[in-house]
Amino acid sequence: MEQAAAALRRLLSPDALVTDPVELATYECDGLTNFRARPALAVLASSTHDVQTVVSTCARFGVPFVARGSGTGLSGGSVPVAGGILVVTTKMRTVLEVRPDDLRAVVEPGVTNLDVSRASAPSGLFYAPDPSSQQVCSIGGNVAENSGGAHCLKYGFTTNHVTGLEVVLPTGERTELGGVAPDTPGYDLVGAFVGSEGTLGVATKVIVRLLPLAESVQTLLAAFYDVDSAGRAVSAVVAAGLVPAAIEMMDALAVSAVEAAVRCEYPSGAGAVLIVELDGPEAEVAEGLAEVRQICEQEGAFELRVALDATERARTWRGRKAAFAAMGRLSPSYIVQDGVVPRSALAEVLHEVEELSAKAGIKVANVFHAGDGNLHPLVLFDEQVPGEAERAEELSEAVLQLCIARGGSVTGEHGVGLHKLGAMCDMFGPEDLATMHLLRRAFDPEGICNPGKAVPTPRLCGEPPRARKGAHPLQEAGVAEIF
Amino acid sequence: MERACPAGARLGTGADALDGSAPHFVAYPTSTAEVAAAMRVAASHGLAVVARGAGTKQDWGAPPERVDLVLDLAQMAGVTEHVSGDLVASVKAGTTLAALSEVLAGAAQWLPVDEVVPGSTIGGVVATGLSGPLRYGYGAVRDLPLGLTLVRADGAVVRAGSKVVKNVAGYDLAKLFTGSYGTLGVMTELTFKLAPVPPCRLFVTASYQGPAEAAPAISALVRSQAAPAAIELDRALPEAPLEVSVLVEGRPRPAEQRAAQVAALMGGAEVSPLAPPWWASLPGPATFKLTAALSRVPALVDAASKASADLQARLWGSAGAGVLYLGLPAGPAELAALLPKLREAAAQAQGYATLLRAPRASKAGLDIWGPVPGIELMRRVKERFDPTRSLAPGRFVGGI
């Protein structure tokens, strides 16, 4: 490590290096905060060349490294290796090209998600994947996590909108994958790289696909007396062959929190609130909206509001977007869980979650992407009350087991990182994980690129179930600490 | 082999020849477990294995160095699960697109993939990454799988992805396998996200003298808010007019309005519920695949037209996606002369040219795949998945 640090001091400009312990503390964790570790050194890269310098130095001296964008991740994916090197891409935030006639933009990894759409807007285009953190999160991070966003129901995920990458491989080599045109001959390594959570290399340029802005957007807010009838409305919308751009649902507890936080004036007395957004050609959207209204009324919606303009639309969404942060109104602490079940099983699973919640004496507020079965149970607890933190953690884990039992997924959006490594052992078998490691080793034969993240090793899966009071295996390995 | 595949295993014949190489054995597994057993037998005897669906792409790619065993997956057919409420279906790899369509149509749903080569199986379509016109509105073949079951060269059965429409757990092996020509493993079952069958489909078709005349319309269509499902072009070279046809799908009244909008953008066009005769029809028998940045599609059409001027060729493809196919009856000399010109033209268009398919004799000695970015990394991936080079050796890029 000392040799690597010395080499980097020689090769990089002094203001690129962060060694002061107080400054380094900023980079100890991501948006999850449960897992922290202090790197020996952080490099604020300004160019592909900088990234290549760091990675090839790490490769030369066998030092583990982690890449970090804006640090908004929710699974501990960019937690540094304790005593390793962190390469930060936030200074690489130039939109290099917008090519409206090719429907492409070429951006550096530190560019924020929203900035891509902002740069494309003058051409009547936008970048579709829209995670809630889009004002802050970086495209590089989006590539690592295969981020989606509320509109992924219609538009898909980052992987459906990236056609090319420049990557610095863990060996220090720079390579191009894919390009501006689709169907580059050979293996779809762009597709393998997106969603690989920073374990296969560092993306230093991203070629994204842009789409024409929709001609018309209509947003409907529907209030139901209970989650079941809202769920039936969603099923009916799907059965009618409609494909809204987004369908979001919040339960009564979640609604009460956002009301207190942002005063979005959702209908009072709602057991469940549904937000349905349709976009596309005007005539198509108008007919679709009429059908959705009819369906909601049929399923017992007691209030329907259609946003009349962009301001009202923003107000409708404000509550939903404030949901996680608003939990602070209900409880001193909370766990944000992220799991997926088949959409048709949502109503049943929510009842199961309710039962678990009642049994544990722990409240759960539900916010979720009703269109695709992606749940975000917000498990509320007070650390000061003895045992509550543990019961909340157990309940959160139990929800994931429900997802697995239903043939769903242990993560719809937030990624595996550190947080879901154990759950990966439940979702996949040993040969499945071994095959993922084949891919990983092809890119990173020495195991220095974001080690210990995303895909558990057989050894980790073989560990006995964590004792509630015992150390996390990663703590024992010196990779991370839990706070 | 007979123990591994009770339903049938036999010696290969000339009829089983893959690009001129007849295999020693052909086996007919009926389940993933039988595929795994067959792969284990193959591995223990050092056999080179190629999977076969309906055998419609036997002359695609480079001729394999050797083929000892063909795994015929025609009996691994059927929809194992269709949850219409989730718009998800799991399908065995040997299922034909036609059979799949029929099952899903019962719930007014479909897998939006064109049957570009008639009789194709879903496994073959995914293994070759063969997308058609619908890629523009629905995504290419690589965008559709949610998860898959595959068998590795060593016989291990592997599941990747999931059966739900939203999942980021683990690496996206379905993307890695799409277009991999069977060189990384044998896919036995795939899970897909479906779409509702649109109630109305309208084709808006206009004719232009050539690419320069069509260019403004194509550019306007790609930027339009009419949300077409496909933007296609077709030209019987060299002198015939260039036809551009746009597919508009949706509810009847809005679709008619949008079709009228599209027709106006095209400078006048015919609207019909029937597709033009050339729609989703891969020209051949020798076929080049050409890709381009969207703005350079007209220039590529022009270059391809000039290069194949006296060769009775047909050019067809997605002007909206930047993927074109040039088909012609050609012998080795013509293909050898044409390939470098097309490769140069595609490079100018920021894309690539490959000789997708041709009879073995015609493509002997040609660099059908051409240069590929990241080829060294691809070799490393291949080495990890198939260290003994027993899966379709030599069929893919860079000699993989």
Q: A386: cis peptide before it, omega within 30°?
A: no
Q: Which residue of B has its CA nearest to A214?
A: B225
Instruction: Return the axis-axis angle of helices A282-298 and A227-239, rounded to nearest 10°.
Output: 140
What is the spatial distance between Cα A416 and Cα A287, in angstroms, rounded to a whole number? Answer: 40
Residue A464 has a pLDDT of 60
Average pLDDT for A310-324: 90
What is the spatial distance between Cα B250 and Cα B270, in angstroms, rounded to a whole number? Answer: 18
Contact yes or no for B85 and A243 at CB 8 A? no
Nearest partner of B69 among B52, B55, B48, B54, judged by Cα: B48
Residue B268 has a pLDDT of 96
Mean pLDDT of chain A: 93
Residue found under tokens 């990894």: A109
- B229 exposure class (CB count in 10 Å sphere: 0-12, 13-18, 19+): buried
How far is the CA of B141 from the CAs of A199, A399, B136, B138, B145, in angstroms?
A: 26, 33, 11, 9, 8
Contact yes or no for A183 and B140 at CB 8 A? yes
Contact yes or no for B168 and A416 at CB 8 A? yes
Contact yes or no for A176 and B374 at CB 8 A? yes
Choice among A279-288, B196-205, B233-242 with the minimum mean pLDDT: B233-242
Beta bridge partners of B234: B243, B316
| List of chain B residues whose C-beta atoms are within 8 Å of the C-beta of residue A207 | none
What is the spatial distance between Cα A146 and Cα A414, in angstroms, rounded to a whole number? Answer: 9
Residue B22 has a pLDDT of 85
| List of chain B residues whose C-beta atoms are within 8 Å of the C-beta of residue A191 | 142, 172, 175-176, 178
CA-based nearest distance A408→chain B, Å: 6
Tens of pLDDT, residue by residue over A374-383, are 999 999 999 9
Average pLDDT for B191-199: 97
Residue B369 has a pLDDT of 98
| List of chain B residues whose C-beta atoms are within 8 Å of the C-beta of residue A213 | 225
Test mutation, B325, B377, B380, B381, chain A, max A CBs within 10 A: B377
Say if residue B6's pLDDT is above 80. Answer: no
Pure H helices in B81-153: 97-105, 122-128, 135-138
Structure pTM?
Answer: 0.96
Which residue in the set A160, A188, A443 is minimally distant from B179, CB to CB?
A: A188
**List of residues 6+ apart from A347 with CB closer than 8 A:** A227, A228, A231, A232
Average pLDDT for A234-260: 94
Top pLDDT among B75 and A468 is at B75
- The pair of three-digit structure tokens given for residue B277, joined into one six-digit string: 């005769």
Taking a C-beta distance cutoff of 8 angstroms, is the pair A270, A224 a contact? Answer: yes
| Window A:281-340, CB contacts with B under 8 Å | 281, 283-284, 286-288, 340
Tens of pLDDT, residue by residue over A37-77, are 999 999 999 999 999 999 999 999 999 999 999 999 999 99
Contact yes or no for A343 and B219 at CB 8 A? no
Beta bridge partners of A178: A164
pLDDT band at A200 (very low <50, low <70, confident <90, very high): very high
Taking a C-beta distance cutoff of 8 angstroms, is the pair A79, A28 a contact? Answer: yes
What is the spatial distance between Cα A174 and Cα B375, in angstroms, rounded to a whole number? Answer: 12
pLDDT band at A469 (very low <50, low <70, confident <90, very high): very low
Pure H helices in chain B: 32-44, 97-105, 122-128, 135-138, 173-177, 211-223, 252-265, 297-307, 332-348, 360-363, 375-385
Say if residue A433's pLDDT is above 90. Answer: yes
Nearest partner of A234 among A211, A224, B325, B18, judged by Cα: A224
Ranges assigned E (strand) in A285-436: 303-306, 333-336, 339-340, 364-369, 374-381
Residue A458 has a pLDDT of 78
Each residue of A42-79: b (16+ CB within 10 Å) or e? Answer: bbbbbebebbbbbbbbbbebebbbbbbbbbbbbbbbbb
How far is the CA of A279 from the CAs of A17, A219, B207, in angstroms?
A: 46, 9, 31
A184 touches chain B (CB under 8 A): yes
Contact yes or no for B164 and A340 at CB 8 A? yes
Extract long-range pairs of A1-4: CB within 8 Å, 24+ residues apart.
A1/A40, A1/A61, A1/A63, A1/A83, A1/A84, A3/A61, A4/A57, A4/A58, A4/A60, A4/A61, A4/A63, A4/A85
Pure H helices in A170-251: 189-193, 227-239
Say if residue A470's pLDDT is above 50. Answer: no
What is the spatial distance between Cα A338 and Cα A403, in angstroms, rounded to a whole number? Answer: 10
Residue found under tokens 């609130």: A273
CA-based nearest distance A347→chain B, Å: 13
Nearest partner of B322 among B362, B352, B365, B367, judged by Cα: B352
Average pLDDT for B299-316: 94
Amino acid, single-letter form, for residue B369: W
What is the spatial distance between Cα A95 and Cα A117, in angstroms, rounded to a whole number? Answer: 11
Beta bridge partners of B246: B204, B231
In order, the DSSP letters of A358-382 are HHHT--EEEEEETTTTEEEEEEEE-
pLDDT band at B7 (very low <50, low <70, confident <90, very high): low
- The pair of three-digit structure tokens given for residue B181, joined into one six-digit string: 């020509």
What is the spatial distance between Cα B294 and Cα A131, in angstroms, rounded to a whole number? Answer: 28
Contact yes or no for B164 and A287 at CB 8 A? no
Average pLDDT for B221-227: 96
- The pair of three-digit structure tokens given for residue A320, joined into one six-digit string: 């939903």
Residue A480, SS3 per DSSP: coil
